[in-house]
Amino acid sequence: MCGIAGIFHIKESAGVVDRALLTAMNNTQFHRGPDEGGVHIEPGVGLAHRRLSIIDISTGQQPLFNDDGSVAIVFNGEIYNFQDLRQELIAKGYQFKTHSDTETIVYAWIEWGEECVKHLRGMFAFAIWDRNRQQLFIARDRLGIKPLFFATLATGEFMFASELKVLLAHPRLKRDIYLPAIEDYFTFGYIPEPNTIFKDVFKLSPGHTLTLTRGMVEPVIKAYWDVPFTQHPDFIKENTEAQLVEQLRQAIDVRMVSEVPLGAFLSGGVDSSAVVAMMAGLQKDPVNTCSIAFNEADFNESEFAKEVAQQYHTNHWEKTVAVDDFELLDKLALLYDEPYADSSAMPTYRVCELAKQRVTVVLSGDGGDEVFAGYRRYRWHMNEERVRSRIPLGFRKPVFGLLGELYPKADWAPRIFRAKTTFQSLARTSVEAYLHSVSILNDQQRNDLFSDQFKRDLQGYHSIEVFKRHAANCQTDDPLSLIQYLDMKTYLVGDILTKVDRASMAHSLEVRVPFLDHKLIEWSMNVPSAQKLHGQEGKYVLKKALEPHLSNNILYRDKMGFAVPVAKWFRGPLKERLKQSVLSEQMLDSGYFNADYLRQLVTQHQSGLRDHSAALWTLSMFEAFLRQVLSADSAVSQVA
């Protein structure tokens, strides 16, 4: 696991890359690779790398070159099938100098060109400079586990890096705010690919490559993989559960190769427990497991983690942290570089901090909910979908739309009694309704939040465009598969994987995610939706498959999540801090917000009249971004 960066002069008359500048940029991501650093400069090209040594510790330094030095690579990630690829390439006549997975990519590029990514099984973001072709080739893994940011300066310099802060270290990068990204942020709580908060900086989307040839003005960006809904050759309708266990076991097995200490996160939930159970059957020594316990019962799952640890005799260690863990608040904005509003980033940071004390690599259960339909919102959406499928939109929109306006809001009530939200969803199309259900602030709230001028500057842009773009590419009519697909393209990469990457790399910890093995996903798309969401039971087929391995106490208990008590904080110990943040001069003078509505949100929440904790956390993280990432002397302009 590493950090990569580079500068490429696009023009034919290639300029000289400033070594000192590139080195300084690279050092802003020192935490991603504290073991070693390397920089290579040649006319018009500069490649930089920070290394966290995992495989081939002695000879895997980067940038790494082919035998004649004409091809160079900087690489972040792990290729799990590199040994098989290595043997295939040796049979074709290639000679290897190292035992690293990095060198395998170099010769895969020489042999297969852009098609090399289709041969790779793993998580990765890498850049290859091919001097003979005068070409820069960049790729990101299929699910977006590893990040990749890029930007092009007005001077014709193309830059890329593993984190946004690396590009922000370049003095000529404009920091113009991209206004549609603000609309997206207050909808999703993060900024979906391929955009960032800055107009001129982008993320390479998962499953995409980017190619720049010297003299070309624009990069060529191509998709090489998407979630498939075609028949998988290994899928057999009978005995799905046994097949699932075998697919998962294979995905975990290939992720257990490491020359440094390896372990697993163990929350006591279904997914992390499944990973530990499979790992225990694949190694002789006890599995190293770690978990965070909270000092408040409503947020503490540690007893379930202990149950699994005892069942599989793991080397388990646990740290109890205070629920009121405010120390990280000021670190989050600097950690994520752009507005990011998932409060579970705080305990995630702590569990990564704990894990690094014992191991360098951990396996996690992330992705299980998206792949096997574990979120409660899937259940609610499918309940509503049964109504939408029977009543035409032309009738639903006016009738349920009116009921949604008239019915009183009841945040305090159980979801089943919140008819206002249900009516609002039934008045929408399936895609619009799902956006409504996942939005941090819904359409009406964002309309109230934003200033009149900002709404004019948006020029009609609405976050539904994100979902519509992805829905248009989804090759299935199945309603559950559609929202799983939307989550894989947005929430999974923009929230979950972003959270884990930044939190883990802040501690120089590598996290591997077997549920996001692309072969497992390709197989799982053939599992009928009724076996994923069976009645009101999410992840049904996974739970049934795991019954021989885990107790019903683990498999069928209510999902807790990895939460912190934000609502309570904002009415208690963070009461004054919230006011200072959300109602700060910087927020009120930004031009984005309706000041009266900001005051209303704070007042209603702190009086106990309404629970606006999600919206207020999102606002406070935006203020932290303005204050900490955008320095006072930054020339920030508003760009629609």
**CA dist., res. 189 & res. 614, Å (int):** 9
Would you say how long the chain is, in residues? 640
**CA dist., res. 479 & res. 386, Å (int):** 10
2, 290, 352, 474: the active-site residue: 2
Q: How far apart are the first and last CA of the chain?
A: 36
- Between helix 430-438 and helix 479-489 the angle, nearest 10°, is 50
With CA atoms as reference, report the closest residue to 274 among 503, 562, 539, 524: 539
With CA atoms as reference, report the closest residue to 144 among 185, 103, 82, 193: 193
Q: Letter for the amino acid at 121?
A: R
3-state secondary structure (DSSP) of residue 259: coil
Give catalytic status of residue 290 as yes or no.
no
Beta bridge partners of 125: 76, 140
Tokens of residue 585, six digits: 């001069």
Beta bridge partners of 361: 262, 510
Look at strands 157-161 and 149-152 and give their pairing: antiparallel
**CA dist., res. 214 & res. 158, Å (int):** 11
Cβ atoms of 248 and 274 closer than 8 Å: yes
* Alpha helices per DSSP H over 156-239: 164-168, 179-188
Question: How far are the Cα atoms of 199, 599, 640 from residue 586, in angstroms, in the given order?
Answer: 20, 14, 20
> If 0-12 CB within 10 Å is exposed, 13-18 middle and 19+ buried, where does residue 97 land?
exposed
- Token pair 């579970």 is at which residue? 344
- Residues marked active site are found at 2
